[in-house]
Structure 1
């Protein structure tokens, strides 16, 4: 099958990039012909290496729909018309639909959005797709609200299961991996909550970078806990840099189907996560492989951190954590994706 992915410009440091790269390489391994169109080169383009990437715009310019649509049409004429197109942005879905209408026979278009549609500009544009892939049940419900006429298939983000779990640490070691921005990752919540335990023994590993890094470091200093935090910056394959840990933490205001949670569990670490509207509750079985705290309730987060730091709770075993995400193995997910794409029609 000839499959074309069309993606907006993205940072290069997120879960969407990891999932896209993982899926494309798995499809290629199964002998599908895959191409990826990016509107522009990523801000951090390392993830694009070894992928069949074309860039619509070679330098920054005003992104008028007519320019992007014409460029998509011309590029498809050059690389060949695919059997199916997967769009990864709501507005790009509409632009791609208009562009492909100029072909004698238009291939089906499937949307594959990696954000909550409530936080997506131009979300109504997904109606221009012939079918949708939702990365979680919460996103499926958002899509059904916007488009009652086209099928929605749930396909969770895949993982490549590591061979072994991360060793559990003697003292509590917390792990945060993500962009260092207040919106939506909200590491400030975790720093504020941990300020209540500045005299206890614990460590926090922070892997990531972003516009608010300095502000977050300043906040940690003001809380008297910066000496307990290891700021590692952004690292490719971050889990390989963690030799031992106790738990992973996600504090986002909103997510879709957060890759960091399933990766943490696959490495044998339980997770404390905000119970944001979509995503975490589909992965975390409260009290079994982690805990969910009320998104806007700092005291609720402190409650679970207290349990971990004071060792007042029995942590789920690494085997229990890993078992909870076995169904997201890349091979299983790719088989489901192939089945979905084979049955999409206009």
Structure 2
């Protein structure tokens, strides 16, 4: 009986919020009518995309409410409404998600009223103390029906709010387009970085090397000692150029990843000085299957960039790196107890990190309130 009462209590909360939302939607009819009249009269057509955005927020709140009861998320699939008014109007009208939301809203005007009709059942079903045998029997009968009504309401909402295959496909196409644009931007930035490193480093060293060798050839006959000194300088320039070329290569794909794998490479990063770094690894054994090279490289650069930010900006003396193997990918988390306040727009490399991860269809989550802590979570999908 205690479990039944607890479930009925949760159902009561769910149905109460659903009833309040249904009442609010009846008031929202006024907004819909004003938008329809303004759109027909043309002068108020700007109201249409704004109303569609408001409907999206209402439908999103209902999705979250339903997911809290069922334990299953309801996906969203919307096209981005932006740009000039004509483009916003076209997107708002043609987006399949708009039709889905309006269809749910129209149906909710009907089955949402059932929630109001069920209100008299709740006090009868939630009697806890000082009841007679008759009320106990009635409570035992009514409580499961309250839970069943919540299940029924959530089931209808789930079916109506679930995006159509067409909407899911359109959202996926937009996501892939954005990911492709980010990948191109990241690739372009990487090429510019390599070009800059080669131009300012190795190329300058090689030019100086060529000059030293040319001077040594001219001085070889008349001043062998000077020529020998010039050749010694040229050898030093060659060694420095080689070192800088190795650095450029490590920026493209660190050889340590090939030699030691992701775990070994991250542990080498942790031991490279700066703040004290603790590395926690789960499910990535040294002799186990390895992720694809692109995934390992992305995870490595995420850790490297995050630890660089810890050393430069956070003020924290320690950090924690957690790497875990998931069923369909790798999860990387870098946390520190520094001053927080990290932002992508502050030039901390977070935007480049997000683009690199997005190119592999991964996700980045950043939590960095002012005062700390800062946590960067990255999930990279892959097939093992």
Is TM (by shorter chain) over 0.5?
no
Rg bigger for which structure? 2
Q: TM-score, normalised by structure 1?
A: 0.24
Pick the structure with more strand per residue.
Answer: 1
Higher relative contact order structure (alpha carbons within 8 Å, sequence separation ≥ 6): 1
Q: TM-score, normalised by structure 2?
A: 0.22
Pick the structure with more helix per residue.
Answer: 2
